[in-house]
Amino acid sequence: MEALKKMVSDRLATKQFCTIFKQDIDRVWPPEAAEREKQKKAILAFARANGWSVKFSDPGLRVVFRKLDGTGH
């Protein structure tokens, strides 16, 4: 998880967003067909804990992190 945090942090230091694809997300939060919602909740908690927003695209194929502004968006 620390490697993912560093990768996202480094990217957000110079860019507005960081896209992480399914194969990388699945390394940190292994998917279980019946557990997809748990995986999404864990990713959301990870983003919030690091001051980022998160958007799920292409039904779980990629996750886009962005820095939160001062209003929480």
DSSP three-state, residue 24: helix
pTM of the model: 0.75
Dihedral sign for Cα atoms in the order 31, 9, 59, 70:
positive
pLDDT single digits (tens) 22-55: 888 888 888 776 677 888 889 999 999 999 999 9
